[in-house]
Structure 1
């Protein structure tokens, strides 16, 4: 993780520097980067094969293309460039957001760091919580909150959004997206079969890029489409050394779907030649996560993953491949593609596809009316709160403050655009949703502490560019969810996995719920013993204590107790 304390004139007192800094007197470059296709980039820059890497290669790209250099880089990166001659600082982050980067800018003094907690310890960086955002998270802890794509829980510290750059100069600062998805040129293909072939080629190349370094590689193994495809592509090149799964051998409460899911994982593991490690949440692990100060340390989706990191490090793993990230794009072929056919005037193709997909004729007029209105509104209204619970169900948060925070237009949960707005509108909304950043940053920071780099082949920029470039008539697959991806994986994935519907995994979900309930009970006992105090005017300490003391007889009461316990346990840290 990079960090620095700079002005446009140069590093400031307190800047820690880094062993792999590039500094030639004019440019100072600090980078946390895994650059793909580095040899091709060197050739484009006229450099010798081994002349530059990492920060030095980014410096050469910046010297040639200036702040437009980001679009010439493939891979995962967060970097900072201090251009002394131009009096300018550039911060940039890759399109997937695989490398976190946070910053505080005040009167020309820029502090930046890939570790938020470390940045908050820098002298002069204010530690003032964003109280409305914190309240919304407590009341409605949804994972996909678009505000968190650019904000943090700290009022004076911002997150550099994925795919963005921050340019700081004498005249101020400018934040913008450096890659324009709408400008990706369309790709002409001869039908769906060719489109599927191109998609498979891009994903294959992406997996090879992710495994190009001489490091041991592990992969998630779920029995689902995405992780299975990535694991098989890596194994086919002899680049898969280990795997782990969140599924467990079926127990007494397993249903047919759970049993089938485990059998698919076992069968796939045999094909891959690996013995997957089963990871499961524990009471101690869940209690520790719930008591972690989430305002400083991202904890999204670590319930299972935290238990794989230590064993992976001990086994010498350096890279973890994951399909959890990017499947929203590479799937293609959902109903939005049908509406795109109408938008392009391909009415005959669209009507034929409707019939081919065995959709009822009676529903066609409604679909056409929806398209005429261009899908005003989201595909479905977001749930009012966590698990559908009313976000005003926490009696220890002052109601007037809660209502104002929940009504803030910038603090609304992600709502996927209606399919009638088209594939690309949905893609761009997901990229801006904050959900990808929440999980990717969480895993990136946790993995870095164990010497592991997470890589997401389905978020490779060439794969994403293809998803924006393919015409809808080539990607829409009538009557089959995720048909484009399924077709692309024909001959690679076994049909029981390739054609399988999304599994319910009810036994795994129930097991996680039981562990979380036990962890909540443990946290409540700890919280009850702490002093009744409130770090914020909108938190009622007495009402919070009443929630902790009352029996949790229903899901609403259990949710309130869990949040009350977290607030009580974290109050001391927030107060300071």
Structure 2
């Protein structure tokens, strides 16, 4: 794992000052503490920060050259040995044992089509001096990030993190107001947007070939996940195939020349990964867990069950429920505002893992691939109801009922029917787009000052979800929801969370459950084998049943949660008051000060629960201050 950055002059081959490239890579030194390198050529400069994992000798240092090709690479190619063997048979000669050199040779032989041969997580930039081109590429699901921007003189900047772009002295950062709406809708800035105007993220599964003297091209999609096909076979046969794919995905990610371990939450996904690792390893697997001193948020008991079952070398650390001292650290790590509160325990477990290992396997990706979120079950149930009632009746009937029904946020779950009635009055895509968000369109606009709302020019954050579901290569409503999650939620929230938290402490995180062959297998499963009678990850749990007890497989999903509602009525009550009475958000002129005050006062008094919204606002304020000097 590493950090990359660079400059490419698109118009003319102006010299690149190595100090400017070095300044960009210095901004992301945490991504690669084991080495640094800068290379400049005609109109181009490439920079690299190295976290040595495969072939940690100096031979694996970057930027790496092969004839007229030069590369900087962030990530891992898990099948590099197989690709190398194929290239060797074709006459290619290798001088290192690292995957970086394999990419160079593969590009020389196949060009951009080399990406189809790679199984891995990656973002890289490859300069071809003979063709005067810069090739940027990102892995299938967006595990590794890649930002880019154009300067006023036409120069293209690229980097692993936003802070490296901002380190260039000629780049001027101003906020993108539509990204504010996106952030408040989802709690993160999606991959098709950026909080800084003029900065883009190369989308997952895309590449871009930039040629000197030509306009900047649009990214080209090189990978498409499809839910349109269906696997055939018995449950027993598909369970066996899934088991084999799981074992292969985990084993392929255990190759490292440095200490390796795993995160263990005690949930199905991380427990399954640890079980597979234990089978494949001749030594005790090193595992780590984070617990909370509040029983309602602590899962360490389940992690210990799994650790004992597989005799892992297990370590755990208890974090106080008031562990909000990380806020400024997280703001610095994520750059863009990021309000997934599970980033706090994620950072802590990465910190704990880094004390003994350099690589850690996680269980991320299974919920998206195998329909493991509760919202998937709710969506499927609502779609069954929609299928029974004509659309011309659904909207007026359920729309009116939803509008009239009281919110009852204080009531038991069974009585909180308002959102369900409102959802049934919408199309499936519209309803899911709302369900996956944090703050609804109406609630966001209630926060905005009139001028800010007008500046959005009709932009609506939910539209990207509606479009993704409408255009999905899919057969079933669950297919469409999962496809949209894979395109938007996974890279924007889950993978961003893990990448920034792990890289902040110089730890490489690997996601075996996002092996593309495994995900493609899951996408071909009949929807009923992913979500069966309200039970998500159905076939995955059957495949793991021989290894894990029911207590792990079928307990209520918790995930990494933090008590933010209580924080804003206790130790962070002053922050809530400040947001309501004159924070930097009020100074922007974007928000209605009276509404901010009402939100803060109602939460602190207990009249309403605005904990998640206040967390969003707090993280937004701190990010704006850090990025743009808003105060």
> 2:146 aligns to what?
101
> 1:344 aligns to what?
none
8 Å CA contact 2:333, 2:501 repeated in 1: no
> 1:351 aligns to what?
none
Q: CA deviation at 1:165?
A: 1.0
> 1:265 aligns to what?
303
> 1:180 aligns to what?
224
CA separation of 1:544 and 1:228: change in aligned 2, threshold 3 A = closer
Secondary structure in 2 matching 1:181: coil
Higher relative contact order (CA 8 A, sep 6+): 1
> 2:195 aligns to what?
153
* 2:247 is aligned with 1:204: yes
Distance, in Å, in 1 between the alignment partners of 2:385 and 2:185 is: 37
8 Å CA contact 2:66, 2:104 repeated in 1: no
> 1:116 aligns to what?
162
CA separation of 1:10 and 1:368: change in aligned 2, threshold 3 A = farther
8 Å CA contact 1:532, 1:542 repeated in 2: no
Q: CA deviation at 1:439?
A: 2.8
CA separation of 1:286 and 1:232: change in aligned 2, threshold 3 A = same
* 2:346 is aligned with 1:305: yes
Secondary structure in 1 matching 2:429: coil
1:452-478 Cα shifts (integer Å, max 9, x gaps):
111111111121222234566876756
Distance, in Å, in 2 between the alignment partners of 1:81 and 1:143 is: 33
> 1:58 aligns to what?
103
Distance, in Å, in 1 between the alignment partners of 2:219 and 2:101 is: 24
CA separation of 1:455 and 1:517: change in aligned 2, threshold 3 A = farther
Distance, in Å, in 2 between the alignment partners of 1:263 and 1:558 is: 27
> 1:325 aligns to what?
365
Q: CA deviation at 1:550?
A: 9.0
Q: CA deviation at 1:271?
A: 0.9
> 2:316 aligns to what?
277
Distance, in Å, in 2 between the alignment partners of 1:291 and 1:335 is: 28
CA separation of 1:177 and 1:427: change in aligned 2, threshold 3 A = farther
> 1:15 aligns to what?
21
User: Of the candidates 155, 161, 177, which is equivalent to residue 131 of structure 1?
Assistant: 177
CA separation of 1:551 and 1:305: change in aligned 2, threshold 3 A = closer
1:387-438 Cα shifts (integer Å, max 9, x gaps):
679524765x313523663941456474684996355434431221144333
8 Å CA contact 1:154, 1:295 repeated in 2: no
8 Å CA contact 1:299, 1:442 repeated in 2: no
Q: CA deviation at 1:308?
A: 2.4
Distance, in Å, in 2 between the alignment partners of 1:39 and 1:536 is: 53
8 Å CA contact 2:569, 2:603 repeated in 1: no
1:269-314 Cα shifts (integer Å, max 9, x gaps):
2112243414435344354368659544756431212222333222
Q: CA deviation at 1:79?
A: 0.2
* 2:601 is aligned with 1:538: no
8 Å CA contact 2:262, 2:361 repeated in 1: yes
8 Å CA contact 1:22, 1:55 repeated in 2: yes
1:16-52 Cα shifts (integer Å, max 9, x gaps):
3245112245212111121111110011212457656
> 1:356 aligns to what?
none
Indicate the RMSD between aligned Cα atoms, in angstroms.
4.3
8 Å CA contact 2:72, 2:125 repeated in 1: yes
Superposition pairs of residues 173-572 of structure 1, within 5 angstroms: 173-182=217-226, 189-238=232-281, 241-248=285-292, 251=295, 263-274=301-312, 275-280=314-319, 281-285=321-325, 287-288=327-328, 295-296=335-336, 300=340, 301-315=342-356, 317-330=357-370, 366=387, 377-378=429-430, 380=432, 382-383=434-435, 386=438, 391-392=443-444, 395=447, 397-402=448-453, 405=456, 407-409=458-460, 412=463, 414=465, 417=469, 421=476, 424-470=479-525, 480-498=535-553, 500-503=554-557, 511-515=563-567, 517-524=569-576, 536-539=588-591, 552-553=604-605, 554-555=607-608, 572=625
1:45-76 Cα shifts (integer Å, max 9, x gaps):
12457656333211111111111111111111
How many residue pairs get matched?
Answer: 536
8 Å CA contact 1:141, 1:385 repeated in 2: yes
CA separation of 1:568 and 1:388: change in aligned 2, threshold 3 A = closer
Distance, in Å, in 2 between the alignment partners of 1:36 and 1:424 is: 28
1:540-559 Cα shifts (integer Å, max 9, x gaps):
67986897789832336666
8 Å CA contact 1:33, 1:76 repeated in 2: yes
* 5+ residue gaps, structure 1: 341-358
Secondary structure in 1 matching 2:208: strand
Q: CA deviation at 1:196?
A: 1.5
CA separation of 1:423 and 1:177: change in aligned 2, threshold 3 A = farther
8 Å CA contact 1:279, 1:308 repeated in 2: no
**After the TM superposition, which of the residue ranges 521-530 and 42-51 deviates more from structure 2?**
521-530
